[in-house]
Amino acid sequence: MSILEDARALAESGPVCDACLGRAFAERSFGLTNAERGKSLRVAAALDDDEPYEAVDTEDCWVCEGACAEFDDWAERCAEAIEDVEVETYQVGTRAPPLVEENELLLREGAGLPEDAGELFKSEFNREVGKRVGRLTGTEVDFTRPDVQFLLDIEADTVEAQLNSAFVYGRYRKLARDIPQTEWPCRECDGSGYKGKEPCDYCGGSGYLYEDSVEGFVAPVVTDVMDGVDAKFHGAGREDVDALMLGTGRPFVVEIMEPRRRTIDVEQLEGDINAMADGEIEVEGLRLATYDMVERVKKLDASKEYRAAVEFDDDVTDGELQAALDELTGATIEQYTPHRVDHRRASITRTRHVYDATGDLEDARHATVEIHGEGGLYIKELISGDEGRTNPSLAGILDTGAVVTALDVIAVEGEDEPFEDDEFFKD
């Protein structure tokens, strides 16, 4: 059959609007709306048959039941849903009424066309409403991860506007010990602050094992500035609670859920966070980031540099220390899950590499050592040996007990490339 014969067969099923008629031929030609295709076919058929042209009111269409006349109304409702929200990109999704989907199948079946001929009703609805939303709001469509996703439920007559998260990248320095990276709920009261009806003795009723955290200093400020409802803190690994994080700091991303503001002054934000932290932590290099930066921060292979104050059980000479550090430089280390983390880590042997090991003896029982190693290398155990679970170790090579009395992380950098790649930023 010719395209005009197919169009006639569709039109003979009853009043079919131009959009529903043209939708069956959506793959034919370009630069036309389905309504324009449908009207053109109706006009061409009338000319070919030398019959009067008869238009069909969209409201009378038995297929879409008039829905294709409502593109403007739905777009205006979408715009109203975000009139007080700052977004740059959007996407529209449509939940089509089951009856309309069934009518589409019946329309094509009755005309002898494949059930997947053209495109679906919801696809046209997404596109036509989407175009209008873009014009009304001055935003651009994004089919990957837009700032806002609209869900139009035609049957329920509702518009749902889902605001996707915004992301702020930066680096933090932790300048005081006994501050965890993220909030640490009390294990005795599960973060409630109560045991039964009484305040929890273990956490003093706070619900947390530590009063402050890097997350606690950073996330609430970003949430407030971006007018979000909640936040998640994502770090490129984490240092021990009793360790400092110095140097250029540790990369992190704060994810803000349902933000109503996305364009912010990151320099002002940086200053606000640092003022609130009052010397406990510092952040720098804040930038608006993409969703993909979360995975980059969490999964990019990174090396770490540490400075450790070490105490020995027996006297050690400078020559012995230097020889031991030379032996560790370039060594492959096998570490069975350390005692101190075996309650939260799988019991396996991990292989890690030491890139460089240097140090200075302060006296016969004390030294400061610096270790540059592969990410995931447990430094305290590299020093102590962890009762033989780490091999080789500084203690094992020196054949004396050794313990880290203070630990500082002084660098966290990508193994093969920097964390800061412009591809992952929005500014």
Q: What is the dihedral of CA 11, 13, 14, 16, to 10 degrees?
A: -50
As a whole number of angstroms, the distance between CA 46 and CA 383 comes to 90
Q: What is the DSSP string of 323-374?
A: HHHHHHTT-EEEEE--GGGTTTS---EEEEEEEEEEEEEEETTEEEEEEEEE
- Structural contact between residues 92 and 152, judged by C-beta atoms closer than 8 angstroms: yes
> Annotation-wise, does 194 bind a ligand?
no
As a whole number of angstroms, the distance between CA 301 and CA 410 comes to 17
Catalytic one of 147, 240, 386, 408: 240
Whether 190 is catalytic? no
Please, what's the b/e burial string for 301-322 (b: 16 or more CB within 10 A of its CB; e: otherwise)? ebbbbbbbebebeeebeeebbe
220: its two tokens: 């609430």
DSSP code for 27: T
> Annotation-wise, does 202 bind a ligand?
no
156: its two tokens: 């329920």
- Structural contact between residues 140 and 89, judged by C-beta atoms closer than 8 angstroms: yes
3-class DSSP assignment, residue 130: helix
- Known binding-site positions for substrate: 306, 378
- Known binding-site positions: 306, 378
Active site residues: 240
